[in-house]
Amino acid sequence: MAIQTKWKPSTILLIILFAIVSIIILFPLYAITLASLKPSTEIMRQGLNVRFDSHLFSMNNFVSVFEHPYYIRWYANSLLIAAIFTASSIILSAVVGYALAIYEFKGRNIIFVLVLVTLMLPTEIIILPLFKLMISFKMINTYWAVILPFVVAPLPIFFFRQYVTGLPKDFIDAGRIDGCTELGIFARIFVPLMLPAFGAMAILQAIGSWNNFLWPLIVLRANEKFTIPIGISTLLTPYGNNFDVLIAGSLVAILPLLILYIFFQRYFISGLTVGGVKG
């Protein structure tokens, strides 16, 4: 079996091409990693460069990240919001998508059209009335304001509906005959079958929550309530202070998703490419 396959010249050319493209794509991350190891004064005075000055390397910037009065707090906030948002979002959306796929009921088509309508209009259009609503709910500066308006999300509903439509329906009647409740049929029969969809949507919602910017920027007002992206953006001022926390902190902010990506790559790819292929 171990016969060496001979590569055609076109294969070698393609591999060289993609190796170059990959290096270009990864280069910004390399540059920021290198910068995170150098004294921030160096970056402030000289600008971001990729000189490999190993004598300057230290972990001081990462120490500053942990000593920063708020960074850890922002991180914890982001983790908490992402966990609550992701868990409730996939459960609620799965239930709705499941109902749209399984049951024939009056109003089903209208509801599905409404899902598509919310999907097709950018939420940026309604941030001001939503902001006003949050003020009247007295939710400004709370995590509820970040989570609640978007927790029932049209894209996962759409995805779950498509996914369940493709599943076999033979078990439903068997379940009913055996005395299963309607919710039991969902929880015991369909949830196990829907696990890959749950994985993909969990990743989609977790990335969305972890990286979300505009809405938390509007509703979170106090430093100790900020999420990681909002916190990092406050470090970036036109006067350029706090470079140490900014650079090392940006890098630390990528870590959770990078670690998840290494283990659950499949779900990242299916989660972020929802709708690309139907059925």
Partner 1 sequence: MNTKFAVDASTSIPRSSFWRSLPYSKKLAPYILVSPFIISFLIFFAYPVINTVIMSFQEILPGQVKYVGTENYENLTNRQFYRAMYNSAVYTVLTLLVLIPVPLIFAVLLNSKAMRFTNFFRSTLFIPALTSVVVAGTIFRLIFGELPGSLMNEFLSLFNVAPANFKQSAPLAMFIMVILATWRWIGINIIYFLSGLQNIPHELYESAEIDGANAMDKFLKITLPLLKPVTIYVLTISIYGGFAMFTESYMLFAGNNSPKDIGLTIVGYIYKSGIQKNELGFGSAIGITLLGIVLIINVIQLKFFGLFRKED
Site for partner 1 in 139-168 (CB under 8 A): 148-152, 157
Span interacting with partner 1, options 54-62, 64-72, 116-124, 193-201, rule CB under 8 A: 116-124
Interacting residue with partner 1 among 16, 17, 83, 174 (CB under 8 A) = 17
Q: What is the DSSP string of 248-279?
A: HHHHHHHHHHHHHHHH-HHHHHHHHTTTSS--
183 interacts with partner 1 by CB under 8 A: yes
Span interacting with partner 1, options 58-66, 124-132, 138-146, 189-197, rule CB under 8 A: 124-132
Token code pair at residue 218: 């509007």
Name 260's Cβ contacts closer than 8 Å, sequence gap at least 6.
Answer: 203, 206, 268
**Chain residues 94-113 in contact with partner 1, contact rule CB under 8 A:** 95-96, 98-100, 102-106, 108-109, 111
In the complex, the smallest distance separating the C-beta of residue 139 from partner 1, rounded to whole angstroms, is 12
6 interacts with partner 1 by CB under 8 A: no
**Chain residues 224-253 in contact with partner 1, contact rule CB under 8 A:** 228-229, 232-233, 236-238, 246-247, 250-251, 253
**Chain residues 22-81 in contact with partner 1, contact rule CB under 8 A:** 22, 25-26, 28-29, 31-32, 35, 43, 45-50
Token code pair at residue 41: 């004064």
> Within 10 A of 142 (CB to CB), how many other CB atoms are there?
15
Span interacting with partner 1, options 66-74, 138-146, 190-198, 260-268, rule CB under 8 A: 260-268
Contact 74, 231 (CB under 8 A): yes
Interacting residue with partner 1 among 79, 84, 118, 264 (CB under 8 A) = 118
277 interacts with partner 1 by CB under 8 A: yes
Residue 226, SS3 per DSSP:
coil
Contact 227, 215 (CB under 8 A): no
* Count of helix runs (H) and strand runs (E) in the chain: 16, 0
16 interacts with partner 1 by CB under 8 A: no
Residue 184, SS3 per DSSP:
helix
Residues near partner 1 (CB under 8 A), total: 98
Give the whole-angstrom CA distance, residue 198 versus residue 210. 18
**Chain residues 205-224 in contact with partner 1, contact rule CB under 8 A:** 207, 210-211, 213-214, 218
278 interacts with partner 1 by CB under 8 A: yes
Closest to partner 1 by CB, 60 vs 242, is 242
In the complex, the smallest distance separating the C-beta of residue 168 from partner 1, rounded to whole angstroms, is 18
Contact 163, 100 (CB under 8 A): no
In the complex, the smallest distance separating the C-beta of residue 21 from partner 1, rounded to whole angstroms, is 7
> Within 10 A of 17 (CB to CB), how many other CB atoms are there?
10
Give the whole-angstrom CA distance, residue 230 versus residue 214. 9
